[in-house]
Amino acid sequence: MIWNWQKEGWPEFSFNASNFEELEKKFIEKAGMINGSLLHVDAQEEEALKIELMSEEAFKTSEIEGEYLNRDSIQSSIRKHFGLQTDNRKIPPAEKGITEMMMNMFHSYHEPLNDETLFFWHESVTYGRRDLMDIGKYRTHEDAMQIVSGPLGRSKVHFEAPPSQRVPNEMQRFISWFNHSEKNLPALIRTSIAHLYFESIHPFEDGNGRIGRAISEKALSQYVGQPILLALSHTIEKNKSAYYLALEANNKGLEIDGWIEFFCNIILNAQDHTILIIQFIIEKGKFYDRYKSMLNDRQLKVVNRIFREGVSGFSGGLSAKNYSTISGATSATTTRDLTKMVEIGAFIKTGQLKSTRYYLNIKTHID
């Protein structure tokens, strides 16, 4: 098999920029919608939005790689970095590390990319690991760096990256390209190429996916001129199979229109989800302003728990049993509480009998 980095002309990717002009326009339009939405949030809501999106990205970028972290620990760590009140919990190494990378990316998005930044990110995403030979530096092992699946003996090689001895030179070319491409390429094309280019080199022993997605967000942040709040990893995780198939379909050649189209749409979908989260934060504030004084401690406890689930809420809605479990209320009290919440408009009721479900009366949509 001949891989893209073995092709004559590597790393000069070819594409038709005119194919993506409409997608670039949509990105700019949605970026404007996000900035416009932020004008309607107060400082406390903006703080909540920052923490929600950054913790979600940290959680999801790890989940894509099969690592399931503690969301509450990530949020606590992020709050601490912003100098906000925390629950003083002890942060596990993996959660601390991914937060360190996210915060560094947030504060240094405008700076040129360099080895030191990438090495710090790698140290962060592998914090606490003892099974790697090379941490905070490019890989040096002699074995081929392969992406494989399937059982031993019948495994399939999806990609083989350049040998380790080539990595330093490849990365110097990549870094130079990244730092000089900002003024030469539209935002989405540059971001798409940066991600595929970095993943094709696969310079680290582990953590390449998380760092590659961080590079994508750095590129977009540089375009908008501020740390971007974008649900990129959330969207990739939802489309994980298609994401890996798109990478595989574009790792054997240098013509990458298919990859750029796929990744552009991932970014646009991530913007849509970001808009939903902003609307959710705004609606959450309105909900508490409207109903908090009318709710007892049990009802508030349940409402707080539902809001912790984010935009998606409880899968399938809240049942009476859920309410009783969360609040500790008896069956009769649960019925009274839920009836009252529907009467005042805090909850919307659907279904009948055992199929009855309750939803927060808030609006989140994309026009």
Residue 78 lies in a domain: yes
- Encode pLDDT of 265-310 as tens digits: 999 999 999 999 888 988 999 999 999 999 999 999 999 999 988 8
pLDDT given for residue 112 in this prediction = 97
Q: Decide if 37 is inside a domain.
A: yes
The answer to whether residue 155 sits within a structural domain is: yes
210 and 240, same domain (yes or no): yes
- The tokens for 191 are 């971001």
224 and 309 part of one domain: no
- Residue 84's domain is classified under what CATH number? 1.10.3290.10
- Asked if residue 303 and residue 170 are part of one domain, the reply reads no
pLDDT band at 194 (very low <50, low <70, confident <90, very high): very high
Question: Does 275 lie in the same domain as 299?
Answer: no
Give the phi and the psi of residue 132 in degrees, each rounded to 5.
-110, 145
Is 300 found in the same domain as 234? no
Query: Domain check: are 60 and 202 in the same one?
Result: yes
Predicted structure pTM score: 0.90
Q: Output the domain CATH number for residue 348.
A: 1.10.10.10
The mean pLDDT of 104-121, rounded to a whole number, is 97
* Structure tokens given for 115: 């080895």
Name the residue range of residue 183's domain: 4-279
Percentage, residues of the chain above pLDDT 90? 84
Instruction: Write down the pLDDT at residue 366.
Output: 55
What's the angle, vertex CA 77, arms to CA 75 and CA 78, rounded to 5? Answer: 65
Q: Are 350 and 203 members of one domain?
A: no
Burial of 305 (0-12, 13-18, 19+ CB in 10 A): middle
Q: Is residue 284 part of a domain?
A: no
Whether 290 maps to a domain, the answer reads no
Examine the fold and report which residue of 279, 312, 332 is the final residue of a domain before the chain moves on: 279
Better-predicted residue by pLDDT, 225 or 52: 225
Q: How far is it, in rounded angstroms, from Cα 357 to Cα 348?
A: 8
- Whether residue 260 is contained in a domain is answered as yes
Across 110-122, average pLDDT = 98
**Residue closest to 31 by CA, chosen among 190, 268, 262:** 268
For residue 11, is the peptide bond before it cis, meaning its omega torsion is within 30 degrees of 0? yes
Q: Would residue 365 count as lying in a domain?
A: no
Confidence of residue 367 (pLDDT cuts 50, 70, 90): very low
Amino acid (one-letter) located at 141? H
- Cross-strand partners of 35: none
Residues 315 and 245 in one domain: no
Pairing of strands 347-350, 357-360: antiparallel
Indicate whether 30 pLDDT > 80: yes
How does the average pLDDT of the chain come out, rounded? 94
Cα separation values, 294 from 150, 286, 331, 334, 341, Å? 56, 14, 21, 16, 9
**Tally of domains within the chain:** 2
Residue-by-residue DSSP string for 294-305: G--HHHHHHHHH
Statement to judge: residues 237 and 311 lie in one domain: no
